[in-house]
Structure 1
Amino acid sequence: MRAFAVLAFGLLLCGTAALAQPKSAGTPDPRLVEDLVAANRVLADLGVVDGFGHVSVRHDKDASHYLMSRSMAPALVKADDILEFDLDGVAVDAKGQAVFLERFIHGEIYKARPDVKAVVHSHSPSVIPFGVSKTRLQPIYHMSSFMGVDVPVFEIRGVEGLGSDLLVRNQKLGAALAQVLGTRTVALMRGHGSVTVGTSLPQVVFRAYYAEMNARLQSEAIKLGAVTYLTPEEAAAAAKTNDALVMRPWELWKRKAMKPE
């Protein structure tokens, strides 16, 4: 009887530990929260996200935590909607609100890529055809040079089989997506959308927008005949130049998106 009681107590402790919420890394820089709110609204203004999609940023005080809004339309996000998560996707305090089902995309990429500080997941329409066809997404002009010449496609069937709803709804799927992304900046998700990463919110928004724009232009160019894509050398050189200029469009986009309501 005593042994049973000890065992039950041990299981109780294990269960409590499993359910325990992570401790907060502290109050994030208000400017970081402001930029995260702006990133949500800018991506909506630019047509990269609609009622769906999300963007996150690493916590400025702890790289093992990140910030992302509660589950809601990006265009409606305000500072009060920003939540803190650990890299397993557990909210420090969800405030009784629903959280994004696909938050595991963000946490698993942050685990795999210490260099990444911000992540965008979207269903931007122009990239979808490149994830379901044999035509690969490739940089057609200098603004999309950050993609490099090898944009991979995540095939969820390789992890979940044929019965998946295509959503990255757990750590296993998030880790598989992060592995496909590897060291690149963009990965497509077959029948779903894409994920884009960057070293800052302005950079990741820049990349998410111009990946969508490149897909539009590439589709149009293909209709005209043979396409001349950027070489690896051109892509590398142009990406270096553009990385120094991301604040120019960011300041414009942010000002437009954050106009008083």
Structure 2
Amino acid sequence: MRRWRVFVTAGLRRSNRTNDVSRAAQERYIVVDRRTEFDRLVAANRILAHEDVVDAFGHVSLRHPDNPHRYVMSRSRAPELVEFDDLMEFDLDGAVIDDQGQTPYGERFIHGAIFEQREEIMAVVHNHAYDVLPFGLTGTPLVPVIHTAATIGEEIPVWDIRDKFGYATDMLVRNMDQGRDLSQTLGENSCALMRGHGAVIACKSLKEAVVTSIYLKINAQILTTAMAMGTPIPLSSGEIESMSATQLSPLAMDRMWEAFCRRAGLEVT
């Protein structure tokens, strides 16, 4: 990421000729725009930490806005500490473009495999939210029961690494074979659980991925409480479709993003 920014800056100094200045101005416009997108990725890390979706572990990625065959995520660092200069760029197979001496997340293959198999996906979150974990252990389905959680989808499959990779792994997704197997379980859904490990959320925008991750956790809390009281009533297919459209509208998304940024003590990106 740092080398990419230096290259663009150098481009601005390349020549005083009119056509070169025009090209440099275009490059400068692009980098300013992309800086905003990458600042938003930093904010996503901080927000998810503040909302207790991630702790020292977990990560969020963004498909590169200019190259769909690459993605961007932080170096291996606790999400609440992530800064702009921590961001790294990867090929879809997890190869680092320029490590700058930084260590990448060992489970980046979760992200690359999903970006590889789902062209429409622009952002991926992996978390270990404690309220969500029991639903990957018990056979109890995690279904949407509150309207703000409609975007988690009607079905949330559970992936068990033991099914294909045996009983002696450390349960981390350490290569593309494991990442692709997880992605196949995710299918066309927006969420999947990982038995004894956590969850993965894949969405068409970074804001959507953050919001869906937060309300997945809240929905799990409310569903657990409701099951202790009686038999919960899940959202119907029609309710999920209608409420998802409302939740994903620019008005609602911007309102939630502003609120979550402010709650985390961040400027709105």
TM-score (norm 2): 0.85
Distance 1:255 1:34 in 2: 15
Q: Is the 8 A contact 1:57 1:119 kept in 2?
A: yes
Task: Supply the RMSD in Å over aligned alpha carbons.
Answer: 1.7
Match in the other structure for 2:235: 230
How many pairs were matched up?
Answer: 238
Q: Is the 8 A contact 1:34 1:79 kept in 2?
A: yes
Match in the other structure for 1:75: 80
Residue 106 of structure 2 corresponds to residue 101 of structure 1: yes
Deviation for aligned residue 1:210: 0.3
Match in the other structure for 1:16: none
Distance 1:236 1:146 in 2: 8
Deviation for aligned residue 1:24: 6.9
In the TM superposition, 1:1-261 aligns within 5 A as 29-244=34-249, 245-259=252-266
Distance 2:198 2:148 in 1: 20
Distance 1:178 1:214 in 2: 23
Moved over 2 A (4+): 23-28, 255-260
**Cα deviations by residue, 1:227-252 (Å, 9 ceiling, x for unpaired):** 11111111111111111112211112
Identity %: 42
Distance 1:55 1:224 in 2: 35
**One-letter amino acid of the structure 2 residue matched with residue 136 of structure 1:** P
Change (3 A) 1:149 1:259: closer
2:69 match: secondary structure:
strand
Distance 1:100 1:88 in 2: 13
**One-letter amino acid of the structure 1 residue matched with residue 94 of structure 2:** G
Q: Is the 8 A contact 1:38 1:258 kept in 2?
A: no
2:68 match: secondary structure:
strand
Q: Is the 8 A contact 2:43 2:266 kept in 1?
A: no
1:162 match: secondary structure:
coil
Deviation for aligned residue 1:147: 2.0
Distance 1:137 1:164 in 2: 25
Distance 2:143 2:82 in 1: 32
**One-letter amino acid of the structure 1 residue matched with residue 38 of structure 2:** V
